[in-house]
Chain A
């Protein structure tokens, strides 16, 4: 055992290090992209902020204030330095520091994403595993039909349908909008979270449940499960020991993707429920042309995506002996 582990964890660490470096490179390049998109693309940000009626003097003044008269590379480096030192500039609209402005909202969004993930991951694994085990039986067919229906609906539409059905017209049971004072804990009013979380869960569930179902079926069809059965291993142990362990490998990767997908999904869902998170902040900033805010929020989204994928890769390697002990 000990002989077995030492070299593998060393290669594992090296591999992980490479992935982390690569992930950081992606975020860095992402920051270039964010910066370039807001600064280089046709259109003058200062003009865009002030509108067409602004006097040339005011535009010039804002350009100087924003540093737009400096070379692009210098602008970028100054901005990146600011992001790294926690001084990513000030909002053009409220004049507040961007970091403070989105701090609370980032927490709110994180709560939304993590609560949704905590619901959807176990639920998908359960539904997918049961459906895969009872392939082509009524439960499996029902799961297929429901997930098919749900994939067809964008979570934007799902969220609106939930509001229409459960909050206003038909069964007014749950609050359809979230009212949170700045700095207020979203858990303070758990009822307010129900609908946004449900919308996100329903958006991800079909993807993840079908993924788990598919991989459970693949493993059930595998030669080694057949061998285990022909060894006389009881069916419940076949599921627990031989099937789930291998079927969860793609599910882990899928969960990472689903988390990344959830972070994207919050943008619309937050807007529908008026939830004060990063997504609604981004939408406001885009409508106001508040570039420092847009840049930082986009960067946060990219960093989250990279982090979730990294986590997924690391966990996949951890649960796959062939990858864990690679290089020997």
Chain B
């Protein structure tokens, strides 16, 4: 868990103060395309001749905020749907969860591509799109966790008291599904980072000339043999970031929730 915190902290540090340390503006052309590392460009240049280092330092912001906000919204909405379905039962349950079943039939990335094909990805829309992709999956997890709690006797005890429904959800059910939801949030955050960078790599995320790790991988992929740094460094950045968030989640799950995160999602 501590390693995870350090890695995540490191990436966030780069993301926050990186742009101020960058030797060049991220879209300035400073040399020939795909030139090897030199004194002016410590990591060489990219397919246009822009400085790789400066672009790496500037290119984390979009990934961090899009994946974080997208995951947060997705988990919140998914959890609300799952818990409502589990507690209401009956028709509401069927309606909500069968809708989620239909949405879940599309792999998250396919669902994202489908949405992106209509609403060309503005960076403001991207968190929303990521969130929509997670909602059905999170709803499933929250539903499972809440259904187990709903059947317990302390919920019935509150029912017998005539406790208002919202109060039961808030005070009896939510505290008991909070831990699995937080573990789920951590996992989804890791996967969101992968998905957001993949979106840019596939050309449906951020568009040039934005500096973004996923986009950099896409742009410089053709020159991988000539000037590997333009791909390797952003790949490693994403890898370290996902690794860090995942270790944090695992640590949280093991110490606080005492479950394996993979058991939560299944």
Using a CB–CB cutoff of 8 Å, the interface residues on chain A facing chain B are: 26-27, 29-30, 33-34, 37-38, 41-43, 45, 48, 148-149, 151-157, 160-161, 163-164, 168-169, 176, 206-207, 210-211, 214, 250, 254, 257, 260-261, 263-265, 267-268, 271-272, 282-283, 285-287, 289, 291, 294, 298, 301-302, 305-306
Contact = CB atoms under 8 A, between A and B. Distances in A.
State the majority secondary structure of interface residues on B. Answer: helix
A286 B117 contact: yes
B262 interface: yes
State the majority secondary structure of interface residues on A. Answer: helix
Nearest to B232: A164
A268 B201 contact: yes
Interface in B94-133: 101-110, 113-120
Interface residues of B, number: 49
A169 B223 CA distance: 11
Contacts of B71: none
A156 B105 contact: no
Interface of B: 101-110, 113-120, 190-191, 193-195, 197-198, 201-204, 217, 224-225, 228, 231-232, 235, 238-239, 242-243, 245-247, 250, 260-263, 266
A302 B101 CA distance: 11
B119 A154 contact: no
Contacts of B246: 148, 151-152
Contacts of A210: 260, 262
Given A267-B113, A286-B117, A289-B117, A30 B106 contact: yes
B103 A153 contact: no
A166 B153 CA distance: 57
Given A43-B118, A153-B239, A214 B260 contact: yes
A163 B224 contact: yes
Contacts of A163: 224
Given A156-B197, A263-B107, 7 more contacts: A37-B114, A151-B246, A152-B247, A156-B198, A157-B235, A164-B228, A286-B116
Nearest to B228: A169
